[in-house]
Amino acid sequence: MLKSNIKSSIANHTGRDRVSSDIFKSKGSGIKRLAAIGVVLFVVSAIIGSLSPEEVKKTLYGSLSEKVREIEQAISGSGVYGLLLLPLIIFGNNLMVSLIMLALFPTIAGPWLFIAFQGFATGAIIGYTGIDESIEQALSTISSCTLSPSDISILKAALLIPHGIFEIPGISVFMATSARLSFTLIDYVSWKKGKRAEKPIFTQTLRSLLPAILIGAALLLVAAFVESFITPLVGFITAIALCSK
């Protein structure tokens, strides 16, 4: 009896409903697949951003610089407390971005476009020549240290990868949960139109996604502490190694 009911429910789905059902048949694996797609989308968008016009890169870099100045003002003069405050500020900013992306689920395409823009902006900022000039200026204090363009690329990677391996998946998990809610909304519309037998329940879906949201937040928290304390150390060691070649 149960099997026939399941078959009857599936038979009433439209093509889009079938895709949704297949993707989310297992909520855990569905979220993992969507998060993996989010990571790929972020990386591809970052590559595209690195190839964008210099004026676009300059504009995005200016926006980031303003945020960095605000953070510096917030922690300046706070001593040790400022160092402890830094990862919390970074975490708060990243969590806010992720929650905005989560809230975009009614737009359907919003979460995908949002994470793509985040990747594009990251790639554009990393590829901005002003970043290279800033690095060269900072290393000018080290005698006889002249880095080639490839060396600078290695150094930039060292300043991004340590926290990026946590931050990008963390943001992607929020994108995945937002996409899952979008599919639930699509299923609800299909039910209202009589094309779906079972009424989807948003609160039930949101409750099932809570562990994923907590995992995403935990990844962002780890990324914030790594960015504050480990990434600078890795960058410093990499710079010394490159200058000593």
Q: Which of 224, 222, 181 lies closest to 205, judged by CA?
A: 181
Tell me, what's the pLDDT at 29? 54
How is residue 52 annotated by DSSP?
A: S
Residue with tokens 């998946």: 169
Distance CA 76, CA 27 (A): 45
For residue 3, what pLDDT is reported?
A: 46
Rounded CA separation 113/116 (Å): 5
Q: Write down the pLDDT at residue 19.
A: 40
pLDDT, one tens digit for every residue, the chain (245 residues): 444 444 444 444 444 444 444 434 445 558 999 999 999 999 999 999 999 999 999 999 999 999 998 888 888 877 778 888 999 999 999 999 999 999 999 999 999 999 999 999 999 999 999 999 999 888 888 877 889 999 999 999 999 999 999 999 999 999 999 999 999 999 999 998 888 888 888 889 999 999 999 999 999 999 999 999 999 999 999 999 999 87
Contacts 24+ apart (CB under 8 A), 186-190: 186/16, 186/17, 186/20, 186/108, 187/17, 187/20, 190/13, 190/14, 190/16, 190/17
pLDDT at 12: 46
| Rounded alpha-carbon distances, angstroms, from residue 126 to 12, 62, 119, 197 | 49, 12, 11, 49
| Residue carrying structure tokens 């554009």 | 124
User: CA–CA separation, 162 vs 231, rounded Å?
Assistant: 6
Distance of alpha carbon 41 from alpha carbon 100, whole angstroms: 18
